[in-house]
Each structure stands twice: as C-alpha cells, then as structure tokens.
Amino acid sequence: MISNYQSAEFPPSADVVIIGSGLSGAFIAHQLLNSNSPNRPKSVVMLEARNAASGATGRNGGHIKPDCYRGFTSYSILHGTDVAKAQCEFEAVNYQETAKFIHENKLAAEVDLVQYRSADVYLTSESWKTGLASYNGFKESGGDVSNIHVLNKAEAEESLRVRGCYGAITFPAASLWPYKLSIAVLRKGLDLGLSLQTNTPVTSVSPDTSGPWKVSTPRGLVMAGKVIHATNGYASYLLPELDGRIIPLKGHVSAITPPPAYMDQPLATSFAFISNDGYDYLIQRPGPEKYLIWGGGEVSHPKGLSGGFGDCDDRHVVSEVESYILNAPVEILRDWEESRASSGTSPEGAVAFSWSGIMGLSKDLLPFLGELPGKPGQYLAGGYHGHGPIIGAAMAAHKQISKIPFTGSARVGKELMKLGSIDMKKLTLETGGKSPMIVFEDSKLDLAAQWAHLGFTFKQGELFTATTRILVQDSIFDRFLLDALKSITLKYPVGQLFE
C-alpha cells in the first residue's frame, strides 16, 4: 500500500529531499526523476508526516477547474492587466496539460477523469456584475473567450437545472479523484527510484557543516543537497518567515446522496455557486452512488468568513458548515427537494461523508514558487490561492496602519471592525450603503448640520463618505433636525432657478 509506504532503508542522505506527498510533491518528484537532463538528481527522498496524499490533495472537491476569467479583475488591481491576462491564460493551459498528462499515462479510468464544462453560477446581482466585469476585462485585454460562454438567467436556469440565479458563465473543465491521481504519480515515482517515507514528520531543516541542509525527523537525519517544501498550508511550521504570508484555511466538503431525479439524470457540468460573500463548488461523481461532492459553506462558519483561517486541524468538521452544505442543494438545484419528498427519503441521511482539508492561501492571489531568499538550496511551492479577507485581516492587524477604507460585503466589514477594534483603527466602510455620519451630543451642531447636507450634495454624493445616512444621538435629535433644515434652506432656497 502506497498510503503508508516506507522504502526499505531510511536514507542518510539525498540529492533532493521533498517535504510533502500531495500533487505538488508527487509531480515534482516525477519531473525530477523522469528528466533526461545531465543534472538529473541521483537520489530523491520524499518525507510525509502522515499517510501519502493525506493533506488537502486527498481531501479536496475533485475539480480541475481553471480560473480562466473570473480572477481577472482582482489580478488586475494587484498586478496590472498584463499579469491578469497571463494568469487566466495559464490557468486554462494548466487544465489542458493536466488532462494531457493523465491521458498520455493512461490514467483516465484509474483516476475517474470526466471532461465536460464547468459553470460559474451567480446567485446575486452584485456578484453577476462582478463576474461579467472580469469576463469583459479579460476579453478586452485580448484574452481568448471563444470557448467561454455567457448565459443569461433563463438560459442558465434551464440548461443547468438551477434556480434563483442571475446568470452563468461556462468553460472547459474536468473532475477526477485527486487522491487517486497523487497515488498514481507517486507509484510512477517509486518505479523511477523515489524513496518514499510516509509517517515521517520533518521537525526542522537546518544548515550543517557536512552538507548544505540537515533534515531532522524522529526516524533520523537526512543530509540533503536541496530541500523542496511542498506542504502548502503547513509551510510556516518549518519556515516561520512565511507566517502571515501563506495562510492556512480549513475547507469543508461533503458527499451527498442524491434523490432519484439526480440519480436518473446526473448533472452534466461541475459548478461554482457564487454570491457576494464567497462561493460553493460542486461535482457529481460517476459510479453507482453518484454522490454530489459539495464544498464551501464558509459563509455559515460560526466565527464568520474568517473563521477557517489559521485552523490547521483537518480531523474534524464544523457542524454549522456541514449543515449548510446539506441544505444547499435544496436552495439551488431545481427539483431536488421535490424529488426527495416524493421518494420518501429523509434529508438526515443524505450526507454520506463529511471531511475537511487545509488549503494554503497567499495575500496577492499568486503562489510562492522558487528558491527561498537567504536559504540557497531550499525551494518552496505553495500558497496556491488567495482571498480578500486575508488582505483585510493583515491590514487590520498591522500596527503601522491607522485607517482602513473598505468597500464590500457586510460580513467582511464586520470582521474588519472586530480586528480593527484591537488597537482602535479608524474605518471607513461601504457595505451595501455609504458610511454613516455620526453626530453625538457634544458635537458643534451648526457645523454638523452644514456638513450633513454638503456631504451628500458634493459631487452628487458619489463618494464613500457621502452622508446619505446620518446617525444622531437620541438626546439631540430634534435640535439637530431643526439646525439641518435651517442650513439646507439657507443654502438652497426654494424659488426660480435664475433669480
């Protein structure tokens, strides 16, 4: 069994040590050992703290789903349109190359590869506008959108069997069983000479006089010419300089038993269901059970959207998130509840399995790849996806930032308020409305009254600080109202425009 495989002898040294046995580690090992380069390493050792592919690779939702347009706006803001276009194009190529590798190595049946289209389904007006803006931005930058299709509400609901959406965008994608792919690639690595040591946690990587790097484990030391860190969300354990740069996030997935309507006619695409506060993702497995593999649900975390950040314990699920996932098909998939009710099946038994996994996210939405500064011979591959709340949390925690303006969802705004209150940061929040003007009883009421109307007339109110909402302390409400009306009538008297 590769899952708990340990090569016959524990190696005292290696040209390359890879820490982590997920898809990154497995493909890196295969690439190194399958190379015809004269620099091909003679020995490659892989050290895994638990069973092989037991981290996020073996626990994810089964998607090969490129972000071929949706991240364009976010990438553009952070890195410019050229990088944004290149990143979206790279995602599409990565999907194609992954599928090509699977087919060339005759692994499609083994890893349950299914190639079709994926649909980003937008559940709110705001998210739909954002999705269209990214699509149009990518298109206007010269990106190829010939195989990216935009569906209006009626088209999406009819063809995708969903309800309550504003539109959808579809593109080529696939699903598979990622654990099986990792195990298959590791098996190929073993055939090429990989020394795989599972259940062998690395406790430290330190310089040594007898070799570049000393890799310490409970089973002994390995002297390594090069060390590759492929532990993603756990990277900062051995590389403390990455603390706050690669942020672990606990994600949740459940396998849901479908009702007869979805057993008889399985879904023809994979999905992301996108709202203002995040998204869920879904595939339907092939095979007799036809489980729906549904992931996401961060919106229901009892600690808010940021509740999963920093949580590295994948042994348990958060019950509130599990409950949300169980109910999600009822809200989104057409005829789901009707089919379940007519068949007499109970929703309590619908979740066959639930599990969690730890992802690694970066602040700038891009991964860390390459040699570590100040540590020649140590390399990192990790931080494969970022998210807005991470940036917000980092800003809120930074001691040298005194004020944060924020435009976005109320949920993320609340998280910023909590984090900012630690050291009394000033916040300007636009969360579904303009920031309120707040008037207390010790204010200079005449000035407050003047600014009350100037704030929403200046530039026609198109400002984050426009005072279209005013909160007044109860004890001075009547006085303030009279002063405000007086100020407005003096500034803007009623009468003929040109008199």
The full DSSP string for 170-188 is EEEEEE--HHHHHHHHHHH
Residues 6+ apart with CB under 8 A from 373: none
* Tokens, residue 454: 């100037």
Per the CB < 8 A criterion, the answer to whether 281 and 296 are in contact is yes
The full DSSP string for 380-430 is EEE-----HHHHHHHHHH-TT--EEEEES-HHHHHHHHHHHTTTT-EEEEE
Within 10 angstroms of residue 299's Cβ, the number of other Cβ atoms is: 17
Choice among 320, 430, 441, 462 that is catalytic:
430
Within 10 angstroms of residue 351's Cβ, the number of other Cβ atoms is: 18
Helices (H), ranges, 105-197: 125-140, 153-160, 178-191
Determine the residue type at 364: D
Within 10 angstroms of residue 277's Cβ, the number of other Cβ atoms is: 18
Per the CB < 8 A criterion, the answer to whether 156 and 168 are in contact is yes
Q: Measure the CA–CA gap between 163 and 331, rounded to whole angstroms.
A: 8
Q: Measure the CA–CA gap between 452 and 438, rounded to whole angstroms.
A: 10
- Nearest Cα neighbor of 242 from 233, 252, 253 is 233
Per the CB < 8 A criterion, the answer to whether 120 and 170 are in contact is yes
* Tokens, residue 495: 């009468």
Within 10 angstroms of residue 97's Cβ, the number of other Cβ atoms is: 10
Q: Measure the CA–CA gap between 64 and 43, rounded to whole angstroms.
A: 31
Within 10 angstroms of residue 353's Cβ, the number of other Cβ atoms is: 12
Q: Residue 430 catalytic?
A: yes
Residue found by looking up tokens 């708990």 in the block: 4
Residues 6+ apart with CB under 8 A from 31: none
Residues that are catalytic: 430
